[in-house]
Amino acid sequence: MTERHLDKTPTILRKIVDRKWEEIDERKPKVSLADLKAMAGDQPAARGFANALRSRIEQQTPAVIAEIKKASPSKGILRDPFEPAVIAESYENGGAACLSVLTDHDFFQGHEDYLVAARNACSLPVIRKDFMVAPYQVYESRAIGADCILLIAACLTKDQMQELEGIAHEIGLDVLVEVHDGEELDDALTLTTPLVGINNRNLHTFEVSLDTTFDLHERISEDRLTITESGIMTRSDVEAMTGRGIFGFLVGESFMRAPEPGEKLRELFY
């Protein structure tokens, strides 16, 4: 099979990826790769992100990855004041299975400190939501206490994804691979991770269609866990998914806009 070309990658994603390489170059003189590897090795055992999802999905109960996100490039500020520790606690009380914390500085106004604060405030496993392009970031994720990383197929080749997944698993991190279409899914299914996220947002038009999850889920074997991402706004959206056998969810924006994110989670899912 020929390598999937990334020249069709949406402009915003290309811009973010270029910035990631600059960030890595800026960070390396301050914290070397060797230092990060040592810090990653000193971390206690990860909390088991995939297992937390699997235990609920196998019971056919919604497994919600609740997102902590201050802003987005398209919507601007989503939550102000923004207190990651308070939000994490609220999500845990609301029944979340896991947390997702944005750590991208320039485009999502995130920070690594937000992940640390959120994780310290609860007992849930946490995914670092960022744009992984190099091994340096994988070790950095473990060093700051993440339990899982995100690999976005739209900005990585199959070989890059396989390399980053190999490092992640070697150091005890779970991996969630995110896809937007069938071509990306083909590459994602060459990975060993059971976690496959299907993003319902078209990266070119920004339109959201839950049919993306319905269509691609058909091609994912039962030993893997489908996580639907973007566009889950109402109880009927949730029921449309569970009715098709999809019990993994990643939700952020609708929670971030609610006064009590955990209460909103409970209302939507339980």
Catalytic residue among 92, 140, 165, 178: 178
Whether the pLDDT of residue 4 is over 60: the answer is: no
Which one from 69, 100, 112, 264 is the annotated catalytic residue? 69
Strands (DSSP E) contained in 86-199 are 98-102, 126-129, 148-152, 174-179, 195-199
Q: What residue ranges do the domains of the chain occupy? A: 11-269
Whether 129 sits among the annotated catalytic residues: the reply is yes
Separation of alpha carbons 85 and 96, rounded Å: 14
Q: Give how far Cα 127 sits from Cα of 51, 52, 175, Å.
A: 13, 12, 9
Q: Is 140 a catalytic residue?
A: no
pLDDT, tens digit (0-9, with 9 covering 90-100), for 205-239: 889 999 999 999 999 999 999 999 999 999 999 99
Q: How far apart are CA 232 and CA 242, in angstroms?
A: 12
Structure tokens at 148: 């899982």
DSSP label at residue 97? S
What pLDDT is recorded for position 8?
66
pLDDT of 1 reads 40
Is there a catalytic annotation at residue 222? no
**Cis amide leading into 81 (omega within 30):** yes
Taking phi over 0 as left and psi of -120 to 50 as alpha, with beta for the rest, 231 belongs to: left
**Spatial separation of the C-alpha atoms in residues 163 and 224, rounded to whole Å:** 20
The pLDDT value given to residue 203? 83
**112 catalytic residue (yes or no):** no
Is 32 known to be catalytic? no
Instruction: Verify whether residue 178 is a known catalytic residue.
Output: yes
Angstrom distance (rounded) from CA 213 to CA 215? 5
Do 166 and 135 touch, CB atoms closer than 8 A? Answer: no
Is residue 253 among the annotated active site residues? Answer: no
Instruction: Say whether domain 11-269 belongs to CATH 3.40.50.300.
Output: no
Q: Concatenate the DSSP letters of all residues of 242-254 into one string.
A: HTTT--EEEE-HH
- Reported as a pLDDT band with limits 50, 70 and 90, residue 5 is low
Q: Which candidate in 100, 141, 230, 254 is catalytic?
A: 230
Q: Is the pLDDT of residue 151 over 80?
A: yes
Residues facing 67 on adjacent strands: 100
* pLDDT value at residue 205: 83
Instruction: Give CA–CA dist 155/204, Å, rounded.
Output: 13
Active-site option among 90, 100, 141, 199 = 199
| The dihedral formed by the CA atoms of 96, 48, 241 and 115, expressed in degrees to the nearest 10 | 50
Looking at residue 206, its pLDDT comes to 84
CB within 8 Å of 30: residues ≥ 6 apart: none
Residue 155 has pLDDT above 70, yes or no: yes
Share of the chain above pLDDT 90, in %: 92
pTM for the whole thing? Answer: 0.96
pLDDT mean across residues, the chain:
96
**In the structure encoding, which two tokens stand for residue 214, read together?**
């319905």
Task: Report pLDDT for 7.
Answer: 63
DSSP conformational letter for 154:
G
